[in-house]
Amino acid sequence: MLVTIFDSNGSAVIDSIGAQLISYKDSTGKEYIWQRDPKFWNRCSPLLFPIVGNCRNNKTIIEGETCCIEKHGFCRDVDFQVTRQSDTMVTFEIHDTEETKAIYPYSFRLSLTYVIENGMLSMEYCVANTDDRTIYYCLGAHPGFNCPMEEGASFTDYELEFEEDETASSMVYDLEHLQFDPSHRVPRLDHSRRLPLTRELFKDDAVYFDDLNSRKVSIINKNTGHGIEVGFPGFETVAFWTPYPAEAPFLCVEPWNGSGIYATEDDEFVHKNHVQKLETGKSKTYGLTMRII
């Protein structure tokens, strides 16, 4: 089922399968979300839960049991239920089932609310612990944006502009062992807030920052100043990804709580970097915003 929300300044379309954002347009009808061309990537904004990235050999240990969880978890292909809806907002929700408990043993409720106001799209993720024990999980967003966004522009006409000046490095992803290597970092920003986009930037897969102060980043055309701003106040880290060496016309901005495995971590789920902990009967919300600029 597709749900459209709108106001006078923009619109968004969300697919109940995965509660996935499949369209975000301005008032002129210009599209900003990647449109799932399978030649490059057949998704556009998957919800990552209860893991972000991969577990070692797709296996992790939860409550003493070995659990098989595929990359980015199971939510991407689940049909969410609509629990609230108006012209400008919609809430999607799922909860644990026998199928989810076979691979992730906790009881939970997960909702994602979209609100559009003055053209800005806000997303609120809410995880509730309905189990009789503390639960652990990771949560991430993975929206892909058209890049270039303007006719006649190229991918390299764009840059990332962070909210603050940053001195930061990205952790290299070891493509042979499918893990991040904390001992191998590449300097990316030196008292700067701008990182030019090149194809070579992504030769080692995602560019992953775990040490930023900024909680907003924009994809900006250096020549026109036009682009899109993503705010991620509810997330501890952020990654950027586009397929390499394919010259795909999109860029993903991926706020994460959790990540693919680190070379230094063991297989215990509770030891994953940036794993989230939630006590019985508690809930926690995480915010994400998108704004056309």
CATH number at 2-292? 2.70.98.10
pTM above 0.95, yes or no: yes
What pLDDT score was predicted for residue 95?
98
- 200 phi and psi angles, rounded to 5 deg: -65, -20
Residues 168-182 pLDDT 10s? 999 999 999 999 999
Q: Which are the contacts of 257, defined by CB distance < 8 A and separation ≥ 6?
A: 52, 138, 139, 140, 234, 235, 236, 237, 274, 275, 276, 286
pLDDT in tens, the chain (293 residues): 999 999 999 999 999 999 999 999 999 999 999 999 999 999 999 999 999 999 999 999 999 999 999 999 999 999 999 999 999 999 999 999 999 999 999 999 999 999 999 999 999 999 999 999 999 999 999 999 999 999 999 999 999 999 999 999 999 999 999 999 999 999 999 999 999 999 999 999 999 999 999 999 999 999 999 999 999 999 999 999 999 999 999 999 999 999 999 999 999 999 999 999 999 999 999 999 999 99
User: Can you read off the two tokens belonging to residue 165?
Assistant: 């000046």
What sign does the CA torsion over 180, 185, 186, 188 have?
positive
What pLDDT score was predicted for residue 113?
99
